[in-house]
Amino acid sequence: MAAQPTRRERERQQHRREILAVALDLFSRKGFEKTAMADIAEQAEFAVGTLYKLFEDKNALYRALILDAVERFTQALTAVLTTPGSELERLARYIETKATLFAQNIPTARLYFAQTTGAGFLPTAGLDQEARAIYEKVLSMLEAVFRSGIRKKLIANIDPKMLVLGLEGLSNAFVFELIERPDDLPAETMADLSKTIFFERIHLKGN
């Protein structure tokens, strides 16, 4: 379809990617505010001015990173949710996918969380809007799965919005742990814990 892009264009895109990679590294380790454009330029071996040839400004750099991450994660997660199988199976797979996905992309995961979880909290900027909108697609799909499970009497009759909130909170807690102390426990264990706590009862000896 699209004609082979010119060498110039290919190199331009390559440089863009290199800069994004460095920015991801620095933002995820030091945070957005404490990363200076000069830091990124130095580590990427470009001059500051060059960054501004490829990105509008510092926010655009951040946004490119966030949007890419949120889109990739969202795509993978919605894919699992539309997979065949019972509602419970799909939810289980959602949890597993989330755990492995994040475990394999720790720097990206840090950025993702800084946006989605922290967002609304302390407004990180005006940057969240777009990213949050995308993330919310996942949440509404999750909600639909819960709703359908409730209709089929597979799942207790609790406001599905609240079930979403609960499942996200629970699984995020374990993903946080994964991100902060990656060697502590493998991703599967974390996924199993989320599933057990959420779907099995913790409290023995019936009511």
Partner DNA sequence: TGACAAAGTGAACGGCTCTTCATAGATTAT
Partner DNA sequence: ATAATCTATGAAGAGCCGTTCACTTTGTCA
- The answer to whether 183 contacts a copy of itself (rule: CB under 8 A) is no
Among 14, 123, 133, 188, binds a copy of itself (CB under 8 A): 123
Residue 54 partner contact from a copy of itself, DNA, none using kind-dependent CB cut-offs of 5 to 8 Å: DNA
Query: Is residue 169 a contact point for a copy of itself (CB under 8 A)?
Result: yes
Alpha carbon separation from 66 to 102, 110, 112 (Å, rounded): 14, 10, 7
| Of the candidates 134, 159, 135, 136, the residue with the CA atom closest to the CA atom of residue 146 | 159
Whats the size of the chain, residue-wise? 207
Contacts of residue 163, defined as CB under 8 A and 6 or more positions apart, other chains included, come to 143, 146, 155
Q: Is 110 in the site for a copy of itself (CB under 8 A)?
A: yes
DSSP code, position 89: H
- Residue 11 touches which of DNA, a copy of itself, none (Cβ within 5-8 Å per kind): DNA
Binding flag, residue 168, a copy of itself (CB under 8 A): yes
Q: Are 36 and 23 in contact (CB under 8 A)?
A: no
Place of tokens 């510092």: 58
Residue selected from 71, 158, 182, 188 as contacting a copy of itself according to rule CB under 8 A = 158
Among a copy of itself, DNA, none, residue 118 binds (CB under 5-8 Å by kind): a copy of itself
Residues that bind DNA (CB under 7 A): 6-9, 11-12, 15, 34-38, 45-50, 52-54, 57-59
